[in-house]
Structure 1
Amino acid sequence: MQLKISIMGIDGYKEGVTIERVLLLSMGFGTGHNAAAKALKIHFEQLPGVKAEAVDLLELIPNTFHPLLQSGYLGMLNKFPSFYHYLYDWTHQSRVVRYVSSELIEKMGWSIRKKLTTVFSEVEPTRIVSTHPFGLLMCPSGWEDVPTVGVLTDYELHPIWLARAPKVLCVPKCLLRQNQLERIQWRTGLELCETGLPIRREFYESVSMEEARLQLGLDLKRPVVLIMGGGTGLGPMEHLVKELSPLKHIQFIVLTGNNRSLYERLENRYACPHIRIEGFRDDIPLWMSAADLLVTKPGGVTISEAIAKRLPMFLFEAFPGQEQANQEYLIHHRVAVATRPSTIRVQIRKFFSPDFKREKIRDRFQPLMAPDAARQIVSETFKAKVPFMQTL
C-alpha cells in the first residue's frame, strides 16, 4: 500500500512524483479535534502531489445514534462532571483500566470500523494522521503498514494515546521536560515532536490593537475584555456579565457563539454602551487582537488561539479532564489565572491597575507559541516511516 515518492522537504517536490494520500481522522467530541484536522488538511492540500481527506469518526455512526452520543457526552460534562472526572482519571492512572478501555473501544467500534474499511479502500491512504487517540484504535486491520502520526489537541499527554502508539506523536511546546520526552520515547519506541497545536494561520498574523479596534468600532482608549464560552456559550456567562457590568470604564465584548437563547437573554438584560453582545463570529483573530484580556473556558483550540495572540486569560469552570489539564498548563506558565463569578470583578480591577505588570505576562507567551505547528506536523508526517515489526 505504501507508495514510493521523492520529497524535497515540504517546500517542493520533484516533477513526476507519485501522489501521497493523507487520511486525517478526528472525532467530533467538542470542536478541537475537528478544527485541528481541518487546519492540517489546508496545509497538506497546498503541497503538490498530495491529496488529503478528513473524516470525523462520529459521522460514521448511524444517524440514530450519532446525536445521542454527542448529546450524551455534553450532558455528562454538564450534569455529571465528577463521573466524567473518574472515568478520565481511571484511564489516566491505571494501566489495566487503559487496556480494558482500549479493548472495549475497539470492540464497540465495529460499526465505525466497518464504514472506515470502506473509506480506506476508497482513499487508499499512504499516511494516517489522527487528532484523537480513538482514531488509531478504530483503524481496520492492515493499517500497521501505513505510517501513523498522532496530534494532541489539548495540553496533556493522556496515556490512552500509547494504547496504540503512532509512529510519531506531535505535542504542545513546553508540555514535557526533556527527561520525560526521552523516557517516553525509550519505553514506547514512538517519536515525540514538540510541534505545538495546529490552528488557523490568521491567529499568527500581526494586527495592531489600534487597527483591530478601529475595524471593530471600539474605543481606542478604554480597555477591552473579551468573554467567550465556546461555540455553544457554555458556563456561567450571565452571572459573569452581571458581576462585571458595574465596571463602566472597561469595554466588555461577550461572544455567545451559536447559543441564540443566551444571546437574547444577555441582549435584553445587559446591552449598554460598555457591554457589547455578539453571536457567532468568524473573525475571532481580529477580536483577540483588539482585546487586553480573555475570559473563557480552557478549551484546547481557544487557548491555543489566545497563545498565538499573546492574550492573557482568566479561566472559568474547567471541565474535569482535558480542560483541567489545559488550565493547569497555562497557570504553570503564568499566562492565566482561574476565576469565578464571585471573584472576577476584584481580579479584573487588579489586572487593570496601574502597578500591574501586564506586559510581563505577554512576554511569557513566547516559548509557548507555535506559528509553524501545522507546517512541522506536515513535515513529520512525510518523515515517518513504515513501522518495523520485530519478532523473536
Structure 2
Amino acid sequence: MKILILTGKFGMGHMKAAEAIKEELTLCREHPEQRCTSRESDIEIIDWIEYMAPFCAKYIYGSYSALIRRSTVFYNLHYKSSENRPISQKPDLACYIRMNQLIHDKKPDLIISVLAYASKAVSYYKALSGSSIPLITCVTDITAHSEWINNHTNVYAVGSEEVRQLFARKGIPEGQIYVTGIPVRQRFKNQEAERNSRPKILLMGGGLGLLPKRLDFYQHLSEKVPADMTLITGKNEKLYRKLHGRFKNIHVLGYVKDIDAYFLCSDLVITKPGGITTFEAIYSETPILALNPTMRQEKYNAAFISKHEIGRTFFLENDAKDAERIAALICNSTQIEHYKQRMRQLKKAYTACTLTEIVNELTAALPLGGTFHDEIFSFNF
C-alpha cells in the first residue's frame, strides 16, 4: 500500500508532524493479532508547497517567516476573518493540475495531510476527478479553523475534545472526527523523564527562533533564577551569535535535532506555544510556560495549556519581575508536580485512539486508490 503524507515548512511544526506520522505507521505498534496495513506500506512525505511551486517555494516560506516576525497583526486579521468561513472555498485550477500530476506519479492508496492547504487541494482533486482515495486530515493546532474543513476528507484527526466538538458544530459528522492528540516522534513517548538535583529550564522559540532579544532579560534570568538553563535559538543565527557564551547559567544552542533529549531532562519549558511543541511537552511531561502567544492559533494552544493545567500563559512585562516570576515557579515543586500529573492523565487519554488504528479502520472500510470514472462528480468542495 502506498501512503502519501502531505506537509509544508511554515515553521517546523508541519514537517515534524509528518515525520512523526511516518514513524508511527512504520513502527506499527499494534498487537500482533490485529490487522496492520502499514507493515507492508510504502510511506512517503511530500512538501506540497515545493511540489506545487518548486521555483517559488523558498519565497513563499520566506514571506511567511517575515510576516510572522514583523507583522502578526495582519496575519491575525486574516486568520480571524476566515476562521468561520463557509467550506465552499476552492483552490485555484493550477493547484488541481499539480495535485493531479502528483496522484498520477505516486499512485497513492491513502493520503494523510498535515497542511490545511494540501487537504483543500486533495478535496478539490477528488471532487473533479471522482477519485475514491481516502484522505485523513491531521489538524496540527488546537483549533477548529474552517481552513481545515472540506467535503472530501474522510477522517479528521484532532488534538483535543474541544476541537472535536467545534468541528461537529460546523457540520462534520461525529463519526469522522477522532481525538488523537497532535503527532510527535516516538522518542518523546518511549523514554523516562530525568529527575534533577538542581532544576533545569529549557527556553526555545520554535523552529524560527522567536525569542526575546533583550540582553537584560537573559541577564536577569542568569542572576535570579536558581536553575541550569538551556536556550535553543533554532534557526535564528543572529540571536545565537548575540547570546552564545555571554551568561553564566545559560547554555545557548542553535538548531538541534535531538530536541527530545532537552525536553526529557528539563523541569520546565518556556516556549512559543505551537501545537507540536505543546504535545512534545505533554509526552515528555515537561510543564509549559506559553511565552507571549501572539498568533491566533498560539492563543488557542495557550488556552488549552491553561485549561488542562499543564502550564500557564506567560506574557513578558518587566525583565526583572519576569525573572522573579520564573524563579518562583521553578522553586514551587508542588505546582510543577501538579502540572506533570495532569500531563500524565492527558497522555493516558490519547492512547485510546491512535492514527495507526484509524488508518487500519479506514483502509478496511474504503476502496484504496483509483478513480470511479462512471461517477457523477459532485462539485461541493
Does the CA contact (< 8 Å) of 1:28 and 1:57 recur in 2?
no
* C-alpha distance 62-93 of structure 1, shift in aligned 2 (>3 A): closer
Residue 97 (structure 2) aligns with: 114
Runs of 4+ aligned structure 1 residues displaced above 6 Å come to: 387-392
* C-alpha distance 45-359 of structure 1, shift in aligned 2 (>3 A): closer
C-alpha distance in structure 2 between counterparts of 1:390 and 1:194, whole Å: 33
Deviates more, 1:29-38 or 1:230-239: 230-239
1:83 paired to 2:74: yes
Deviates more, 1:224-233 or 1:43-52: 43-52
Residue 35 (structure 2) aligns with: none
1:196 paired to 2:172: no
Give % identity: 24
Residue 145 (structure 1) aligns with: 132
**The residue matched to 1:360 in structure 2 has which SS?**
helix
Shift of residue 319 of structure 1?
A: 3.3
Q: How does 1:178-189 map onto structure 2 within 5 Å?
A: 183-184=169-170, 188=173
Q: 2:330 is aligned with what amino acid?
A: F
Residue 291 (structure 2) aligns with: 316
Runs of 5+ unmatched residues, structure 2 = 28-37
C-alpha distance in structure 1 between counterparts of 2:181 and 2:344, whole Å: 12
- Structure 2 residue corresponding to 1:93, chosen from 84, 92, 96: 84
Does the CA contact (< 8 Å) of 1:195 and 1:376 recur in 2?
no
1:335 paired to 2:310: yes
1:359 paired to 2:346: no
**The residue matched to 1:291 in structure 2 has which SS?**
coil
C-alpha distance in structure 2 between counterparts of 1:390 and 1:39, whole Å: 37
C-alpha distance in structure 1 between counterparts of 2:112 and 2:13, whole Å: 15
Residue 30 (structure 2) aligns with: none
Deviates more, 1:367-376 or 1:128-137: 367-376
Does the CA contact (< 8 Å) of 1:298 and 1:315 recur in 2?
yes
- RMSD in angstroms over aligned alpha carbons? 2.8
Residue 261 (structure 1) aligns with: 238
**The residue matched to 2:264 in structure 1 has which SS?**
helix
Shift of residue 207 of structure 1?
A: 2.4
* C-alpha distance 177-142 of structure 1, shift in aligned 2 (>3 A): closer
Shift of residue 177 of structure 1?
A: 6.7
**The residue matched to 1:365 in structure 2 has which SS?**
helix
* C-alpha distance 195-177 of structure 1, shift in aligned 2 (>3 A): closer
Q: How does 1:22-101 map onto structure 2 within 5 Å?
A: 22-46=3-27, 47-95=38-86, 99=88
Deviates more, 1:274-283 or 1:123-132: 274-283
* C-alpha distance 354-85 of structure 1, shift in aligned 2 (>3 A): closer
Q: 1:235 is aligned with what amino acid?
A: L
**The residue matched to 1:24 in structure 2 has which SS?**
strand
Shift of residue 305 of structure 1?
A: 0.3
* C-alpha distance 51-354 of structure 1, shift in aligned 2 (>3 A): closer
1:169 paired to 2:147: no
C-alpha distance in structure 2 between counterparts of 1:307 and 1:36, whole Å: 15
Residue 32 (structure 2) aligns with: none
Q: 1:365 is aligned with what amino acid?
A: M
Shift of residue 167 of structure 1?
A: 0.9
Higher relative contact order (CA 8 A, sep 6+): 2
C-alpha distance in structure 2 between counterparts of 1:145 and 1:55, whole Å: 20
Q: 2:180 is aligned with what amino acid?
A: T
C-alpha distance in structure 2 between counterparts of 1:70 and 1:280, whole Å: 18
Does the CA contact (< 8 Å) of 2:203 and 2:229 recur in 1?
yes
Q: 1:292 is aligned with what amino acid?
A: D
Q: So what's the TM-score if we normalise by structure 1?
A: 0.81
C-alpha distance in structure 1 between counterparts of 2:65 and 2:155, whole Å: 30
**The residue matched to 2:182 in structure 1 has which SS?**
coil
